[in-house]
Amino acid sequence: DIVLTQSPGTLSLSPAESATLSCRASQTVHNTHLVWYQQKLGQTPRLLIFGASRRATGIPDKFIGRGSGTNFTLSISRLEPEDFAVYFCQQYGSSPPTFGQGTKVEIK
Amino acid sequence: QVQLQESGPRQVKPSQTLSLTCAVSGDSIKSGGVYWSWLRQHPEKGLEWLGHIYHSGSTDYNPSLQTRLTISVDTSRNEFSLRLTSVTAADTAKYYCARLELVVMGFDCWGQGVPVTVSS
C-alpha cells in the first residue's frame, strides 16, 4: 500500500496568513491521482483538489494544489475563519486508495 | 443533489457481524463512472477505505479486510450495504458511505457517517 505522510501535524496560524501543507507518498502516485479534502469538526470530508492541482466545483482559487510523483502540497492563501479545519490527502493511483493522517490548521 | 444516508446498529458485540446500509438519493446507483464505497474513520486517526461496488455487482476490497468484508448492492432500492464479520474492538470507528467518482479518483459525496462501537 502507498503510505501518505502529511506534515506538519498541526499548523497554528492567524487569519489572513497563508498555509502550506505537505503530503509525501512512499511510492509514485500514478497519473497524479492525488486528492485533497477539508474536514471541519463534526462534518464529512469535502473534496477540494483532484488530479493534484485541479480544483473541484465551487472551490475558490485561494486553494492551490501542486506536485507530482511523491511530493504534493496544498497552499491556502488569506486564511479565513472557515478555513481552519483538518486537511487530508488521498491517493488512488494504486489500489487500495489510502489517506494521509491529516494536518490540522488551527487558529493561533 | 446527491445524498447518501447510512443506517444500521451503533453497537455490535465482539465476534458478531456489523451490517450497514447506505441509501442513495438524487442519483441512480446505476450511474456509470462511479463506485459506491465504504470507509471508516477511527477516533483521532485518519480515514481508511474499506471497499467499493459498481452497480453491476463488481467489488474491490481493502486486502486488510477482504476475508471479513462483503459489499452488496440493491439497484431496485437504490442502496448498497456493508457486512463485516467477526468484529473486534479494532473495528470501532465512524463508518461512512461515499461515492467514488472515477474522473476525480476521489470521494466527491459522503454520507453523514454512523459511529459504531464494538463492545460487549
pLDDT tops 90 at residue B39: yes
Chain B residue nearest residue A92, CA to CA: B105
**Which residues have CB under 8 Å from B106's CB, separation 6+?**
A33, A35, A37, A47, A50, A90, A92, B100
Give me the residue label for grid cell 473541484.
A56
Residue B45: pLDDT over 80: no
Which residues of chain A make contact with B105, given a CB cutoff of 8 A?
31, 33, 35, 50-51, 92-93, 97
Mutation target to probe the B interface, by most B beta carbons within 10 A, among A4, A37, A92 is A92
Instruction: Find how far residue A40's CA is from the centre of its chain.
Output: 13
Q: How confident is the model at residue B47 (pLDDT cuts 50, 70, 90)?
A: very high
Nearest 5°: CA angle at A7, between A2 and A11? 150
Best residue in A4, A5, A46, A47 to probe B by mutation, most B CBs within 10 Å? A47
Separation between Cα atoms, residue A56 and residue A66, nearest integer Å: 14
Residue B31, pLDDT score: 87
Reported as a pLDDT band with limits 50, 70 and 90, residue B100 is very high
CB-CB neighbors (< 8 A) of A101 in chain B: 45-46
Q: What does pLDDT average to over chain A?
A: 96
At B58, is the pLDDT very low, low, confident or very high (cuts 50, 70, 90)?
very high
- Put simply, the answer to whether B105 touches A35 (Cβ < 8 Å) is yes
Per-residue pLDDT of chain A (108 residues; tens, 9 = 90+): 999 999 999 999 999 999 999 999 999 998 889 999 999 998 999 999 999 999 999 999 999 999 999 999 999 999 999 999 999 999 999 999 999 999 999 999
Interface contact B45-A98, CB threshold 8 A: no
Neighbours of A73 (CB within 10 A): 17
> Residue A28's pLDDT is what?
96
How distant is the alpha carbon of residue A81 from its chain centre?
17
CB contact under 8 A, A97 and B49: yes
pLDDT at B43 over 90: no
Partner-chain contact A88 B47, CB within 8 Å? yes
Report the alpha-carbon distance of residue A46 to residue B22 in Å, rounded: 19
- Determine contact, residues A71/A100, Cβ cutoff 8 Å: no
CA distance B11 to chain A (A): 20
Distance from C-alpha of B118 to C-alpha of B120, rounded to nearest angstrom: 7
Q: Is the pLDDT of residue B6 over 90?
A: yes
For chain B, give the number of residues: 120
What whole-number distance in Å separates Cα of residue A21 and Cα of residue A105? Answer: 9
Q: In this complex, which of A31, A51, A99 lies closest to B46 when CB atoms are compared? A: A99
Q: How many A-B residue pairs are in contact by the CB < 8 A criterion? A: 54
Q: Which three cell numbers stand for residue B22?
A: 447506505
Sequence-distant (6+) residues with CB within 8 A of A15 are A79, A80, A81, A107
Provide the pLDDT for residue B71. 98
Q: Nearest-CA neighbor of B38 among B54, B58, B53, B24?
A: B53
Those residues with Cβ within 8 angstroms of residue B2's Cβ, 6 or more apart along the chain or in another chain: B24, B25, B26, B27, B99, B109
